Amino acid sequence: MSVSLILLPLAIALGTSAGTVAVSTAVGAAAVVGSKAVLAVAAETHLRHLKHLRELYEKSQNNTLPPIETIFNDAVLLEKTLKEHGLSVTVLSDSQLTCQIGDVRLDYSRQTMGESFNVTVSGLQDIDNFFNELECFEREYKQNVQSYTYNRFMEKLNESNMRVAEEILMEDNSILLTIDI
């Protein structure tokens, strides 16, 4: 018997932590991540939210922005993403880290584990450049989450003596896996 599932980068990044997806799917539980249409709506909503924030900040003359909700919910992958982007990151705890981009300081924090991080930005001079960087961080984070989830999933599959019958990389970077169970 074979079962097919799709690892969607957006679903993983928006829906749950990477470890939860990999472990629950690998042990045979049905991991429902939603349809691509629902996820496309979520992505569009997130982009509209960022556009709205950009407009609000352009009207403000303050170079310190109020906290911005992010899609980042895994501290290790957030740190990895920021470092891959060439930033020096200081980890203060599992719920708090900080980094500098020139004169701009980014303070990431969250109240509880598993919750998304908020970022507080100070020293901002170029709003367009900042929001472009934020979008780039999010794309890289989604790729890191998908890679981590894929690797953990394959480890769990090997441990449970299941095998991948077919693996297809889709145009939208989703991965379609057909698993023999």
7-48 residue pLDDT tens: 665 544 444 444 333 333 333 333 333 444 444 555 566 566
Per DSSP, the three-state class of 122 is strand
For 73, phi then psi, to 5°, come to -130, 0
Cβ–Cβ under 8 Å, residues 177 and 7: yes
State residue 64 phi and psi, 5-degree precision.
-115, 120
Segment 109-154, tens digit of pLDDT: 999 888 889 888 888 777 777 778 878 888 888 888 888 888 888 8
Among candidate residues 81, 64, 63, the one with its CA nearest the CA of residue 72: 81
- Residue 8 is given by DSSP the state -
Taking the C-alpha atoms of residue 70 and residue 116, their distance in angstroms, rounded to an integer, is 6
Contact 181, 29 (CB under 8 A): no
Residues forming beta bridges with residue 101, ordered by sequence position: 104
- Sheet harboring 2-7: ordered strands across? 2-7, 175-180, 163-169
Q: pTM for the whole thing?
A: 0.65
